[in-house]
Amino acid sequence: MSLTNRSLVTIDDLSDGEMEALFSLADEMADYPKNQTELCHGKIMASLFFEPSTRTRLSFEAGMLRLGGRVITTVDIGASSLAKGETIADMAKVVGSYADIIVIRHPWEGAARVVADYAGIPVINAGDGSHEHPTQTLCDLYTIRKQRRTIRNLRIALWGDLKHGRTVHSLIYALARFDATILFCPGPGLEMPEHVLRRLSSEYKGELKKCRNLNQELNSKLFPIDAVYLTPSSPHQLAMLPDINVGVELKAGVDALYVTRLQKERQAPTVGVQELKKGYPVVDKKLLKAKEFKKTLVMHPLPRVDELTHEMDADPRSMYFKQAAYGMPVRMALLALLLGAKEPTIPEEKDSFIRKTDYPVYHRDSGITCPNTNCVSNQETEVRYIKPEFKIVSRQPLTLRCIYCDHELHPQYVASSEWHQRKLENKKYHSADSHFAKKIKPENLIVFASKDEAKAQQFRPSSYVRQ
Amino acid sequence: MSLTNRSLVTIDDLSDGEMEALFSLADEMADYPKNQTELCHGKIMASLFFEPSTRTRLSFEAGMLRLGGRVITTVDIGASSLAKGETIADMAKVVGSYADIIVIRHPWEGAARVVADYAGIPVINAGDGSHEHPTQTLCDLYTIRKQRRTIRNLRIALWGDLKHGRTVHSLIYALARFDATILFCPGPGLEMPEHVLRRLSSEYKGELKKCRNLNQELNSKLFPIDAVYLTPSSPHQLAMLPDINVGVELKAGVDALYVTRLQKERQAPTVGVQELKKGYPVVDKKLLKAKEFKKTLVMHPLPRVDELTHEMDADPRSMYFKQAAYGMPVRMALLALLLGAKEPTIPEEKDSFIRKTDYPVYHRDSGITCPNTNCVSNQETEVRYIKPEFKIVSRQPLTLRCIYCDHELHPQYVASSEWHQRKLENKKYHSADSHFAKKIKPENLIVFASKDEAKAQQFRPSSYVRQ
Amino acid sequence: MSLTNRSLVTIDDLSDGEMEALFSLADEMADYPKNQTELCHGKIMASLFFEPSTRTRLSFEAGMLRLGGRVITTVDIGASSLAKGETIADMAKVVGSYADIIVIRHPWEGAARVVADYAGIPVINAGDGSHEHPTQTLCDLYTIRKQRRTIRNLRIALWGDLKHGRTVHSLIYALARFDATILFCPGPGLEMPEHVLRRLSSEYKGELKKCRNLNQELNSKLFPIDAVYLTPSSPHQLAMLPDINVGVELKAGVDALYVTRLQKERQAPTVGVQELKKGYPVVDKKLLKAKEFKKTLVMHPLPRVDELTHEMDADPRSMYFKQAAYGMPVRMALLALLLGAKEPTIPEEKDSFIRKTDYPVYHRDSGITCPNTNCVSNQETEVRYIKPEFKIVSRQPLTLRCIYCDHELHPQYVASSEWHQRKLENKKYHSADSHFAKKIKPENLIVFASKDEAKAQQFRPSSYVRQ
């Protein structure tokens, strides 16, 4: 399938085969730079960065220029018309009429999806809040592939601020697809969000094991492992003897240790950043002397602060500057593909790609909103045109996932549009976990956040509603 | 007349024929983009934006790049040497030695004129305070022309913040030249400034009717019409029976409804923005159901906030995203013409262009300053080299118009340089409306803001001065 | 010697011959612009400006574009990852993997040196705090050369804020090499820093005369001369009769008067800027009527504020806009040379270039830090990897010069590593000015800022330490 004119909002927008094709093209970009200098001649990339960035923006821009294309840039929210109260949809439409492709970074989760919906040209998500950062994931995987010759069946440890790090969110979805075992080693209070873990285990079919407290002794020597994601494709000892075999798992070695910094700027204002900083683990030469790390790739999406010492820079295991440098060929390949300057050669598809599940979609105007205050669908300017929309990812318990930011909600009360459409006096609502509720077809489902909300819409409690 | 090396500071810098030629070239830019990619090869555009902008800046930059030219950009006043106290004249001279053309947006009214005076290269005004924004007007007219096949004899309604909207100021001067009838529908307290209306009726020879209170009934159904400008070329019923025929005028339909947002950032600090917002009219589907608007083009210079609902976006009458999109071919045409990459084909001049009146100029150092505190001639840094200068646009009442910002003043006292040059003891001043005052030749005129000012310059009151 | 792949951090990085070659190439750039349009095709310049700039940044960028190269830009510290706590070394490494050359302006003194150390590509210092601004010096010298046909044996007066003006610091080192006599005319409290004057007289072998109070009478007519640097190559009357001959010196005429603005943004917070402004000398037509200035080039690095009146702009002696304009060909020549697009033709080396003295380097971890709080080696983020390092420029008195910012320190106590390595109980320290101290070989020298510091490192006072 051609990548021309498509957008990259989430890492799931690319199939496994497309990723492999992109990496081959990145090799070509790196190895024969002189062949690429006219590939995107006459094309314009709009670089819209509403959050600070050096690495990502400059590598996209340098990449586009090295392809012979040109660049227009907006870097500062103060210098943009957003300050005048414009919606991002309007901005997307307008910029879409000047440029051939948009690269956007934005503090709101789901912003890149909205821009892609309205721009009319391909859009690349260069980071949307704490949500996703798919091109960083491409750089990460490409780095591993260059070093290990494969991105399949890896054992990866994720270290640090797993709560706010959008890079790790995009990364684990990709790793899961390529049959990785993932060890989660968060800083205290910085655990991977529940909805991310749930998506991981529900969508990618692996098994998630919480291990904290199980291996205190081990932890003291290495680092606290909070949870392990076990890929379904390769059976593990661990799966059978969870209490003791995290150590066994580790003894086989860790392919990559992915360190992230404390995302100070995304902490809730009530959180004591100084406290977090104090408890934040540091990766240094001493830690990496353990034999489990003998051949471990030390990775970091950069910028780093204190969590990874400068003494590691000269260590041959350190990959973080290579990761950054690979940003250019990887992004060149992506730009060339989305702009149709290159057609991908998709290698014979192995069966391992778990296609995105086609969940039924809920988009009634029934008072339900996304619980994430940072979601694009909750912003004052954007509610003018965005209606909340959710995938119904589970009926038991009833779980709706925001199509913009992937946060989940669990409505307590439901009704059926079928019943009351036929007989209006029957506008009754039920507890979401009642026997009756589960029989409602997805297309007829109406959900309420509260009894009051149901009442406000003229529904009365059925006998299935607990008082 | 060639456009090469000329500047575009006010919409009056282009003749009607030049505008038509520019629009034809814009058609060519839009229809044959591949023919333009080397037109401005080797040329550099400096994009100097001292106020926020997405649309205007990005369309200029994308346009220049699509012409094969290159761009250097300064977007933030904090990142510029102006923060160090430099004058814009110095900046203009310096940038003029690096670039081939300058595009400037600046918060001071008249700033673009100063830059054009000093840069030594063509300068395009991309908005100077509340003064003018001529390239927006070109996009507006081009949009109408694309839809209506003509820009002559239109009936246009202007809606919203007519006080601060520089786009509407430039627009009405152009509309008047093309024989438009203009309906003014301002938000409360946001009426078109007096000096703009006066320039409209004095320079373009149409008739201005104030209509508020005349047609309350009509207004309640539609929107409050504050004033109507009637072009002299097409006689109207209204001109003869002003009290009742605004309705007649409207029944013939409105060609375009030009909506503008409340310019929060330009309100005086004493004005309650919340109050203004509350009373600000909203254009929505319901309003546009009236049969007067059946074929009305709905226009907006963008960004919009709340004054034009998103539900209108899919309506075929909505032109605002097209307006924005046309920014690119229009600005490409303008750049190509001013840089001499294209010579305009001026169509046979019809007689309708009212040439700029050649008013006598007043530039004595007699203590008179522009009354507009936001005028470039009143800024602390710029008074080092700018001397106030005025066009004498009327003797009865005596009216001086600032050459930088078009604001007007009415000095109360005058003298003649002839008299006192011949006989120094005769340094006397007169009331500006006295019989004697009117006899002073423009080249001999000396004006004073006050008796004290006259006294300070050793003038004594004549018998024509009221005590 | 080829300039390809070299960096320009300080003006001393270029030999006299290389400067002359660069100026010849700049002539070529200015005279045959059309020949240069493909010179740097395919090359990318990263423009990293962490301080406001119009002139320098835009001339570098316009220059690179006119050479056929392309540009990526970061202008605002708020928009950069530095805000996230990243070190400039990390930034340098990353940007070094995207671009072919870096131009950096940074508020920390020595920042450009660090970037050059880590980037792996050529780096140009476009101003680092109050330290150096070598490309401005190149423009200054090029301007003089265009007017005078030589840059040798000039008499130059420096005027204004000599304390903070980085342009004048780079300039005097270059002038001294070309046998200039330099008259220092600082605003009150804005004298040239001691370490700069000391470097001038120690490295370039001229003689420095303090003249204040010697010529009050003269001063009142002209301007206060604070000091004179006399080149060793041409003997002066002044050298023999210092008290009276500043006047004699001046009567021969001043080749250039180099005016600088008050650097408000670099004043210590305790300094009353209003006070400084009041006492700040102004250069105007009246001052320049003196016959000493009849043929004087009036120079200014711009931006100017009030210290040089606009009335001078039309004066044929005024060179400042030419200086700015020459920025483009000079920077084009520099870029082309460092990128290897041109090989310099070094004219036959005259013997006048005083090579950089090879001072012994002190880089022990003995608690000594640079006394300059604005030095890059003292910044919270940078101490993670930078170790203080000093040149031992004098033993009597013991003087260490920071390799990053050129500030000097005079440690009071010293020890020898030789002594205590041989016999550990002999870890004794001495007064730096003691007889014994001077015998310590540079490679064995250990210095301490205080007795406490020495004690903290287990050294005991020798009998040569005053109690």
Q: Using one digit for the tens of pLDDT, what is the confidence trace for C276-301?
A: 777 787 899 998 998 888 999 999 99
User: What would the DSSP string read from start to end of B34-45?
Assistant: GGGTTTTTT-EE
Task: Say yes or no to pLDDT of A238 above 50.
Answer: no
The region of weakest confidence among B4-8, B194-198, B365-369, C211-215 is C211-215
Residue B77 confidence (pLDDT) = 56
Question: What secondary structure, in 3-state letters, does chain C show?
Answer: CCCCCCCECCHHHCCHHHHHHHHHHHHHHHHCHHHHCCCCCCCEEEEEECCCCCHHHHHHHHHHHHCCCEEEEECCHHHCHHHHCCCHHHHHHHHHCCCCEEEEEECCECHHHHHHHHHCCCEEEEEECCCCCHHHHHHHHHHHHHHHCCCCCCEEEEEECCCCCHHHHHHHHHHHHCCCEEEEEECCCCCCCHHHHHHHHHHCCCEEEECCCCCHHHHHHCCCCCEEEECCCCCCHHHHCCCCCHHHHHHCCCCEEEECCCCHHHCCCCCCHHHHHHCCCCECCCHHHCHHHCCCEEECCCCCCCCECHHHHHCCCECHHHHHHHHHHHHHHHHHHHCCCCCCCCCCCCCCCCCCCCCCEECCCCCCCCCCCCEHHHCCCHHHCCCCCEEEEEECCEEEEECCCCCEECCCEEEEHHHHHHCHHHCEEEECCCCCHHHCCHHHEEEECCHHHHHHCCCEECCCCCC
Tell me if B81 and C55 make a contact (CB, 8 A cut-off).
yes
Sign of the torsion formed by the C-alpha atoms of B167, B173, B174 and B178: positive
B37 φ/ψ sector (left φ>0, alpha ψ -120 to 50, else beta):
alpha
Tell me if C384 and A306 make a contact (CB, 8 A cut-off).
yes
Q: Distance from A71 to chain C by nearest Cα, in Å?
A: 9
Count Cβ–Cβ pairs < 8 Å, chain B vs chain C: 93
The region of weakest confidence among A375-379, A420-424, A433-437 is A420-424
Comparison of pLDDT for C357 and B435, the residue scoring more: B435
Closest CA to A74 of A91, A93, A86: A91
Strands across the sheet containing C155-160? C207-210, C227-230, C181-186, C155-160, C256-259, C297-299
For testing contact with chain A, the best of C48, C50, C90 (most A CBs within 10 A): C90
Q: Return the structure tokens found at A135.
A: 């091109």
Residue A52 confidence (pLDDT) = 78
Q: Cα(A30)–Cα(A28) distance, rounded to whole angstroms?
A: 5
Residue A54 is nearest to which of C44, C80, C384, comparing CB atoms?
Answer: C80
**Which CA distances in Å does B20 have to B14, B17, B168, C433?**
10, 5, 20, 85
* Smallest CA–CA distance from A69 into chain C, residue: C70
Q: Return the structure tokens found at B293.
A: 């608007």
- Asked if B141 contacts B20 with a C-beta cutoff of 8 angstroms, the reply is no
Q: Cα(A49)–Cα(A61) distance, rounded to whole angstroms?
A: 12
Residue C275 confidence (pLDDT) = 76
Residues of chain C with a CB closer than 8 angstroms to some CB in chain A:
42, 44, 46, 70, 72-76, 78-87, 89-91, 93-95, 97-99, 384-385
Residue A467 confidence (pLDDT) = 63
Q: Cα(A414)–Cα(A364) distance, rounded to whole angstroms?
A: 12
Q: Cα(B53)–Cα(A74) distance, rounded to whole angstroms?
A: 9
pLDDT tier, B339 (very low <50, low <70, confident <90, very high otherwise): very high
Q: Distance from B325 to chain A by nearest Cα, in Å?
A: 5
For testing contact with chain C, the best of A32, A35, A58 (most C CBs within 10 A): A58
- Asked if C87 contacts C109 with a C-beta cutoff of 8 angstroms, the reply is no
Residue B304 is nearest to which of A74, A75, A86, comparing CB atoms?
Answer: A86
- Asked if C266 contacts C224 with a C-beta cutoff of 8 angstroms, the reply is no
Count Cβ–Cβ pairs < 8 Å, chain A vs chain B: 90
Task: Collect all residues with Cβ–Cβ distance below 8 Å to B56 and sequence separation of at least 6.
Answer: B105, B126, B127, B133, B135, B136, B327
Residue C243 confidence (pLDDT) = 47
Closest CA to A3 of A416, A436, A383, A341: A341
pLDDT tier, A157 (very low <50, low <70, confident <90, very high otherwise): very high
Residues of B within 8 A of A91 (CB-CB) are 54, 303
Residue A264: Cβ within 10 Å count:
16
- Asked if A280 contacts A297 with a C-beta cutoff of 8 angstroms, the reply is no
Q: What is the mean pLDDT of chain C?
A: 87
Q: What is the mean pLDDT of chain A?
A: 87
Most confident of the following: A365-374, B199-208, C268-277: A365-374
- Asked if C335 contacts C67 with a C-beta cutoff of 8 angstroms, the reply is yes
Q: How many CA atoms lie within 13 A of B275 on its CB side?
A: 8
Tell me if C303 and B79 make a contact (CB, 8 A cut-off).
no
What element of type H or E holds A200? helix A194-203
Tens digit of each residue's pLDDT (9 = 90 or more) over B239-284: 444 444 556 666 778 999 999 998 877 677 676 777 777 778 789 9
Residue C319: Cβ within 10 Å count:
23
Comparison of pLDDT for B206 and A415, the residue scoring more: A415
Residue C373 confidence (pLDDT) = 95
- pLDDT by residue for chain C (467 residues), tens digit each? 689 999 999 999 999 999 999 999 999 999 999 999 999 999 999 999 988 788 899 999 999 999 999 999 998 654 444 556 889 999 999 999 999 999 999 999 999 999 999 999 999 999 999 999 999 999 999 999 999 999 998 999 999 999 988 899 999 999 999 989 999 988 888 899 988 998 888 888 788 888 755 445 445 555 667 788 877 665 554 444 444 455 666 677 899 999 999 887 767 767 677 777 777 878 999 989 988 889 999 999 999 988 999 999 999 999 999 999 999 999 999 999 999 999 988 866 554 444 567 899 999 887 899 999 999 999 999 999 999 999 999 998 999 999 999 999 999 999 988 865 566 667 889 999 988 888 899 999 999 999 999 999 888 898 767 66
Residue C381 confidence (pLDDT) = 92
The region of weakest confidence among A345-354, A407-416, B265-274, C63-72 is A345-354
Question: What integer is the mean pLDDT of B224-246?
Answer: 60
pLDDT tier, B366 (very low <50, low <70, confident <90, very high otherwise): confident
Q: Return the structure tokens found at C289.
A: 């009527």
- Asked if C84 contacts A273 with a C-beta cutoff of 8 angstroms, the reply is no
Task: Say yes or no to pLDDT of B462 above 70.
Answer: yes
**Which CA distances in Å does C291 have to C243, C253, C287?**
22, 8, 10
Inter-helix orientation angle C55-66/C320-338, to 10°: 50
Residues of chain B with a CB closer than 8 angstroms to some CB in chain A:
34, 37, 49, 52-55, 57-59, 61-62, 65-66, 71, 73, 75-76, 261, 264-265, 302-306, 309-310, 313, 321, 324-325, 327-328
Q: Cα(B184)–Cα(B163) distance, rounded to whole angstroms?
A: 11
* Smallest CA–CA distance from C69 into chain A, residue: A65
* Smallest CA–CA distance from A46 into chain B, residue: B58
Question: What secondary structure, in 3-state letters, does C31-69 show?
Answer: HCHHHHCCCCCCCEEEEEECCCCCHHHHHHHHHHHHCCC
Task: Collect all residues with Cβ–Cβ distance below 8 Å to C55 and sequence separation of at least 6.
Answer: B81, B94, C302, C303, C324, C327
**Which CA distances in Å does B111 have to B48, B195, B338, B379, B386?**
12, 19, 19, 10, 11
| Predicted TM-score of the model (pTM) | 0.93
Residue C351 confidence (pLDDT) = 41
The region of weakest confidence among A136-150, A156-170, B327-341, C203-217 is C203-217
Percent helix, strand, coil in chain B (nearest 5)? 40, 20, 45
Q: What angle do CA C398, C401, C403 make, to 5 degrees?
A: 150
- Asked if A395 contacts A440 with a C-beta cutoff of 8 angstroms, the reply is no
Q: Is B278 helix (H, G, I), strand (E, B) or coil?
A: helix
Q: Distance from A40 to chain C by nearest Cα, in Å?
A: 13
- Asked if B159 contacts B149 with a C-beta cutoff of 8 angstroms, the reply is no
Q: Cα(A124)–Cα(A111) distance, rounded to whole angstroms?
A: 11
Residue C420 confidence (pLDDT) = 59
Comparison of pLDDT for A179 and B141, the residue scoring more: B141
C229 φ/ψ sector (left φ>0, alpha ψ -120 to 50, else beta):
beta
For testing contact with chain B, the best of A76, A90, A386 (most B CBs within 10 A): A90
Tens digit of each residue's pLDDT (9 = 90 or more) over B372-395: 999 999 999 999 999 999 999 999
DSSP state of B437: G
**Chains touching chain C at 3 or more Cβ pairs under 8 angstroms?**
A, B
Residue A109 confidence (pLDDT) = 96
Tens digit of each residue's pLDDT (9 = 90 or more) over A310-327: 999 999 999 999 999 999
User: Measured over all CA atoms, what is the biggest interatomic distance in chain A, rounded to whole angstroms?
Assistant: 75
Q: What is the ipTM of this complex?
A: 0.92
**Which CA distances in Å does A73 have to A41, B305, C197?**
18, 23, 44
| Domains of chain A in sequence order | 11-130+324-338 (3.40.50.1370), 135-321 (3.40.50.1370), 361-461 (2.30.30.20)
Residue C77 confidence (pLDDT) = 56
